[in-house]
Amino acid sequence: MTAQEQRREAETAAMRRALALAATPGVPLGPNPRVGCVLLSPAGDVLAEGFHRGAGTAHAEADALARAAAAGVDVRGATAVVTLEPCNHTGRTGPCAQVLLGAGVARVVHAQSDPNPVAAGGASTLRAAGVEVESGLLAEESRLLNEVWTFAVEHGRPFVTWKLAATLDGRSAAPDGTSRWVSGTASRLDTHRLRALADTMLVGTGTILDDDPLLTVRDSDANPLPHQPLRAVMGLREVPATARVLNGDAETVLLRTRDPREALDRLFALDRQHVFLEGGPTLAGAFLRAGLVDEIVCYTAPFLLGGGRSAVADLGIGTITDAYRPRVVDVAVLEPVVAGETPDVRFTLRTDGVPVAVTREGDH
């Protein structure tokens, strides 16, 4: 193996380790990306490693350098392997590009280039100062790690996941309104798992008035988790002061609008990047028609009702050739966790930003 091949092997292994560090459980989601860093000696040995632990804490590069300093490790001439291009701006912390320069790092290998124009440019700053910079190593893996953050930065709005639960014939409730839950316990537990991956829960005022939900993330024993997403309610109707969504279990914001784009703009201005849409059929239809649903998670219960509330409002589709056809990316059977319940099926789909109104035969 040549020296160049040995270096590439060491840097690839270090990048995989940096990605694992970035994905450390317990790190708060948003508004910053998840980033990991590994420092290598010129011989390819690991000198130190670090990762970002959330807004206001040291960035991954600074964390790794601080750990090296605490251990008395000399990093001059080292290679910094980072999952994201070192930042080039001063926010709550200083620019990582300057921190690396000050430490005497000779080479920087980063995976994903920073899509944020405010923070980008670290690679150019490092090159201009004589540091060897390589980009793109395991870039797709890094992008996948920060998929929602990257989407929000590139599109200027939060990523939207619409969750629904329906029977085989597409009903979300019986005709007499009985059973708020058509899916089983396993689906509800899985829903809380997905809620915890988002930073915002969004419903319409109709859902608040009809169901009075808590909109919190809870564990299998129904205990609220320490970190809760923002609860957002959009619509023009008044929310009763006694509504459970206004209690102290989590922060709540009222969005006085029926326009999905305006609601997302407001949430993006609040540094929100992933909206979990759990509203009723009218709200879901509005987001779908506007092309503002990016992911659909559907829990299908294996029974029929033949009537009752539909999972989504009329989309104006009159013929099968105009059917809305999101792309299926995963199908899973959720085995029951309570005796007597039947399995549900979870479908995960992506819309690729296509609104209902422009879907026609030949678009797929």
Burial class (CB in 10 A: 0-12, 13-18, 19+), 303: exposed
**pTM recorded for the entire structure:** 0.90
Taking alpha carbons only, the member of 27, 15, 99, 28 closest to residue 63 is 99
Query: Is 3-152 CATH 3.40.140.10?
Result: yes
User: Which of these is catalytic: 11, 49, 61, 278?
Assistant: 61
User: pLDDT value at position 364?
Assistant: 34
What is the mean pLDDT, run by run of 10 residues, along the chain of 364 residues?
92 98 86 94 96 91 97 97 92 86 97 88 95 97 95 96 94 78 91 95 95 93 91 97 96 97 98 94 94 96 90 90 94 94 96 71 40
Backbone angles phi, psi at 50, to 5 degrees: -160, 170
- Rg of the chain in Å (alpha carbons): 24
Exposure string for 257-288, b = 16+ CB within 10 A, e = fewer: ebebeebbebbbeeebbbbbbbbbbebbbbbb
In angstroms, the first-to-last Cα distance of the chain is: 47
Dihedral sign for Cα 56, 59, 62, 64, please: positive
Per DSSP, helices labelled H in the chain are: 3-22, 60-70, 96-103, 122-128, 139-145, 147-155, 185-195, 205-211, 260-269, 281-289
Residue 120's pLDDT is 83
Domain parsing of the chain, residue ranges = 3-152, 156-358
> In this structure, are residues 82 and 110 in contact, taking their beta carbons and an 8 Å threshold?
yes
pLDDT at 277: 97
Q: What pLDDT is stored for residue 30 in this prediction?
A: 75
Cβ neighbours around 202 below 10 Å, total: 31
Q: Residue 7: what pLDDT?
A: 95
The side-by-side arrangement of strands in the sheet containing 274-277 is: 252-255, 230-234, 200-204, 274-277, 159-167, 295-301, 344-350, 327-334
Q: What are phi and psi of 35, to 5 degrees?
A: -140, 140
Q: Which one-letter amino acid corresponds to residue 46?
A: V
In CATH terms, the fold of domain 156-358 is Dihydrofolate Reductase, subunit A (3.40.430)
DSSP string, 260-326: HHHHHHHHHHTT--EEEE---HHHHHHHHHTT---EEEEEEES---SSSEESS------SGGG---P
Coil vs helix vs strand at 85:
coil
The reply to whether 11 belongs to the active site is no
